[in-house]
Structure 1
């Protein structure tokens, strides 16, 4: 169950980040969205990596999760800058925060 909750949160975060990055590319002022797009892509990749490594019984999983938490929190913070006028950023920030919490719960 512990794995399932984390895998669900990681998948939700991957999807939200990819959708947000794509939606940011359609914004009128793409230059303003560069940091958001970058953090979305990095976060999606990190969550994907954690999903893959989770099934391998990696002995240093905690270290990987700590990096994932930091990246998810950075992405959420970046998306929150635009969340008041861009729904995709609000949804992404929420998914990132939930994923970071799921990583923390998994480690405990």
Structure 2
């Protein structure tokens, strides 16, 4: 099975990983880091699972459905947390996370 059929999901995963990494870095620069702790933690988790799933799909993993289910859950959680913060980086991250969660749900068998 070629990974070309998953191109829209691969794009969403990559965009989400970039948005989460940017949000993570920007959150560390905010005045009240303690208030951003959950956001920072979820940005890290989300970026990591998105990067992993992108790599796994590109190498033809037989676990796409299972990994996509976990990824969708983490993306949704991260997006919901980011939505709570008024920072532009959080709002953009929330958007990318929700788009990625929807893309991942299409991979769940």
Task: Provide the rounded CA distance (Å) in 1 between the counterparts of 2:32 and 2:104.
Answer: 33
Task: Provide the rounded CA distance (Å) in 2 between the counterparts of 1:37 and 1:7.
Answer: 23
State the TM-score, normalized to the length of structure 2: 0.91
User: Where does residue 96 of structure 1 map in the other structure?
Assistant: 97
CA RMSD of aligned residues (A): 1.2
- Note the alpha carbon deviations across 1:23-61, whole angstroms, 9 max, x for none: 101100011100000000000000000011102322221
Q: Select 1:22's aligned residue among 22, 25, 31.
A: 25
| Alignment gaps of 5+ in structure 1 | none
Matched, 1:45 2:36: no
Deviates more, 1:1-10 or 1:88-97: 1-10
| Alignment gaps of 5+ in structure 2 | none
Contact map agreement 2:69 2:108 (CA 8 A) in 1: no
User: Where does residue 105 of structure 1 map in the other structure?
Assistant: 106
Work out the number of aligned pairs and report it. 106
C-alpha displacement of 1:105: 2.2
